[in-house]
């Protein structure tokens, strides 16, 4: 049986990460959740239940917010699966601490929520970092195994373009050593078209 805890907030590299949900519409072949209970810095990230905004706010009281550069919605699941809690928490963090806020996402939040959620980020979210993974739609489908099927790659790209209208920084990432140089060039072109910054991130970042 999986070990569970209520690790809602955890520190990574001088930032405070927020773990809101274990739900995700994908089953990535490389997902760390398949083999691990936790990450080194965080402790167990399988949640006993999905927290409410009030529960998340109470957790912030336990941390010295002056220590952190950024608040990052990430965790062991797709943050946009808990959209209302995410927005409520982001509003609280902005108002109380004035911190920069980032969402690390698979980019399928519009499919998850059945609507364009990017306008809701305006004035609240500073950075959206989207996992691009590969420049190829077919390969994306094989790697990410999204429950929404083959439309997912295009939906992720159009979500990125929408975010550009409302969020100052949109980043699209691939993982170092997983692509050829040619594929990375193709990713760079996709990012240029979207208006996103391309980032090749280290494994497990």
Asked whether position 135 contacts ligand SF4 by CB under 6 A, the answer is no
Span from 25-33, 36-44, 58-66, 150-158 in contact with ligand SF4 (CB under 6 A): 25-33
Asked whether position 36 contacts ligand SF4 by CB under 6 A, the answer is no
Identify the H or E element spanning 181. helix 181-194
Asked whether position 26 contacts ligand SF4 by CB under 6 A, the answer is yes
Rounded CA separation 45/60 (Å): 17
Is the Cα dihedral 202, 149, 46, 79 positive or negative?
Answer: positive
Length of the chain: 205
Radius of gyration of the chain (CA): 16
Asked whether position 24 contacts ligand SF4 by CB under 6 A, the answer is yes
Residue whose C-alpha is closest to residue 53's, from 16, 97, 8? 8
Distances (CA, A) of 135 to 153, 179, 181, 188: 9, 9, 12, 9
Asked whether position 79 contacts ligand SF4 by CB under 6 A, the answer is no
Asked whether position 28 contacts ligand SF4 by CB under 6 A, the answer is yes
Rounded CA separation 120/96 (Å): 19
Instruction: Specify the residue, 60 or 75, whose C-beta has the smaller distance to ligand SF4.
Output: 75
Min CB(79)–ligand SF4 separation in Å: 10
Span from 24-32, 89-97, 115-123, 195-203 in contact with ligand SF4 (CB under 6 A): 24-32
Q: Which residues in the 146-175 window bind ligand SF4 by CB under 6 A?
A: none
Asked whether position 118 contacts ligand SF4 by CB under 6 A, the answer is no
What residue ranges bind ligand SF4 (CB under 6 A)?
Answer: 24, 26-28, 31, 33, 77-78, 106
């Amino acid at each position: 049986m999986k070990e569970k805890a209520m690790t809602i907030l955890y520190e990574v590299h001088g930032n405070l990460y927020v773990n809101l949900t274990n739900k995700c519409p994908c089953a990535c072949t490389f997902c760390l959740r398949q083999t691990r209970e936790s990450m080194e810095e965080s402790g167990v990230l399988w949640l006993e239940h999905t927290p409410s905004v009030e529960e998340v706010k109470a957790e912030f009281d336990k941390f010295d917010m002056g220590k952190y550069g950024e608040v990052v919605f990430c965790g062991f699941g797709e943050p946009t699966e808990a959209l209302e809690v995410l927005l409520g928490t982001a509003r609280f963090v902005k108002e109380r601490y004035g911190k920069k806020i980032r969402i690390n996402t698979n980019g399928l939040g519009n499919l998850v929520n059945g609507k364009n959620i990017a306008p809701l980020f305006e004035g609240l979210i500073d950075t959206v970092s989207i996992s691009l993974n590969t420049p190829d739609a077919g390969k994306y489908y094989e790697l990410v195994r999204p429950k929404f099927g083959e439309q997912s790659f295009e939906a992720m790209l159009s979500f990125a373009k929408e975010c550009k209208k409302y969020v100052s920084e949109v980043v699209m990432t691939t993982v170092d050593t997983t692509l050829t140089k040619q594929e990375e060039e193709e990713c760079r072109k996709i990012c240029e078209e979207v208006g996103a910054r391309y980032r090749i991130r280290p494994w497990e970042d």
